Amino acid sequence: MSVAGVAVAMLLILYLPHVIPITGGRGGGSYLGFWPWPALEVWFLALAVPFFINIASFALNDYFDIETDRKNGRKERPLVSGALSPHIAAWTAAAGYLAGIAAGWLLSPICGVIATLFALLSVAYNYRLKDWPLIGNAYIALSMAIAFPFGAGAVMFQDAPGLGNMMGAGWQMLLLLAASPLTIFLALPAPILWLTAGAFFAGLSRELIKSVQDMKGDRAARGSKHLPILIGARAALILAGLLAAGFCASLLWLVTAPGGPAWNIPSLGLLAVSGLAYLANAIELMGGVPKPGGLERMRKTTLYALMLALAAVALAVLI
């Protein structure tokens, strides 16, 4: 295969259209108008953690899902088509996890623990959790939602990057987090909490749609018993629609939450388009069986809608 062909195959296995908005969420959480602009090295590390861990997770997912993708007829996937060797996917995953965990610990103790925990959960998800009812879907949604608390924590509770000061704010907050995680979470500003809730609703909705798409191959290749297989595609899609509606509601709470950024017309416009896109999908999901190709269209639409919501938050902060 040509160098260009290998490059395209690597881009496909890295899932950059999914990785970039997740990475942006971590960065958006780092600065949302509540704290001074973080130092350049803090900003870089806050972006590096999700970037590398998500690249690793997607590469490992393709590695474990070769047979499932074959049975689902996904010939565009590089490992199925033979464009890349499975060994390349495995080494890409290992390198990504190590780089992401290292960046987390350089950032702060709390971020190091979160990075390590989610890397381990990512491996467990790709190996087995994805086949458990709702748990696998919830993990993916949580990995999206943690973006904003992670980014905020990178600024609020950091030590000087790389110094490992045992008496610093990061280690003190880590002890508090171990004793009472809910207390630390609720200490975050209200807009961060609503961003977290919205990302979780949106992510879980998209994951349920994907599980419905993959039902046939998941059951045949791995004997999967995830939620759509247990309750049926129709019930799972209704639940996905309710979660999409929950995302729309979270946007309303976000713009009215005290202490948020100064919303302006461009940012509110983008947020409205994002909410309307999700609302249209919610209505379609709850209204009946989507037309052929409808589920894939909805997954693409909601991905673009999430990017618009992220851009809206950025505009509100920066303008």
Yes or no: say if 83 and 17 are a contact pair by the CB < 8 Å rule: no
- Give the chain's domains with CATH numbers: 1-168 (1.10.357.140), 189-319 (1.20.120.1780)
- How many other β-carbons are positioned within 10 Å of the β-carbon of residue 142? 16
Q: Cα separation of 261 and 210, whole Å?
A: 33
Yes or no: say if 87 and 66 are a contact pair by the CB < 8 Å rule: no
Share the mean pLDDT of the chain.
Answer: 76
pTM of the model: 0.74
Nearby residues of 54 by Cβ (< 8 Å), 6 or more positions away: 15, 18, 19, 22, 23, 96, 143
3-class DSSP state of 130: helix
Nearest to 111 by CA among 60, 41, 55, 56: 41
- pLDDT beyond 90 at 249: yes
Mean predicted confidence (pLDDT) in 16-29? 60
Summarize pLDDT for 27-51 with one digit per residue, the tens.
555 555 445 556 677 777 878 888 8
Summarize pLDDT for 151-194 with one digit per residue, the tens.
776 666 554 444 344 344 455 555 555 545 555 566 677 888 88
Summarize pLDDT for 75-126 with one digit per residue, the tens.
667 766 666 777 888 888 899 999 999 988 887 777 788 889 889 988 998 8
What residue has token string 């249209």?
Answer: 280
- The set of long-range contacts for 120-127, using a CB threshold of 8 Å and a minimum separation of 24, is 122/53, 122/56, 122/57, 122/60, 122/97, 123/60, 123/97, 125/57, 126/57, 126/60, 126/61, 126/63, 126/64, 127/64
CA distance to 44, 98, 235, 277, per residue, from 308 (Å): 22, 31, 28, 10
Q: Cα separation of 123 and 162, whole Å?
A: 26
Q: Cα separation of 67 and 74, whole Å?
A: 10
